Amino acid sequence: MCRCLEVSASGYYRWLGRGESPRAIRRKRVTEKVIDTFEVFKARYGAPRIARELLDAGVPCSTNYIAGIMHKEHIRARNGKGFR
């Protein structure tokens, strides 16, 4: 398989034993916090509000980063009722 993919065997096994990257670890932590915040506010908060809450809690993030996490986790905020 290594010959077909033109990869050295030692490089493949080094890749296999490598741990998670710091970026992946950070994304997991932020994802957990996004899900917790989403549940605390009863699924009413979207990405901008959740990003603001996390920034206030000291978690550095942007609205687009939170929106990407929410999209990947299939989380959508519920709309409020319209005014009659």
Q: Indicate whether 5 belongs to any domain.
A: no
- Of 72, 52, 71, give the one whose Cα is nearest residue 62: 52
Per-position pLDDT tens, the chain of length 84? 899 999 999 999 999 999 999 999 999 999 999 999 999 999 999 999 999 999 999 999 999 999 999 999 999 998 877 777
Asked if 78 and 44 touch (Cβ cutoff 8 Å), the reply is: yes
How many helices and strands, by DSSP H and E, does the chain display? 5, 0
Domain membership of residue 2 (yes or no) is no
pTM: 0.78
Residue 46 is assigned to a structural domain of this protein: yes
Task: State residue 47's pLDDT score.
Answer: 95
CA contacts within 13 A on the Cβ side of 4: 1
Q: What's the domain range around 56?
A: 20-79
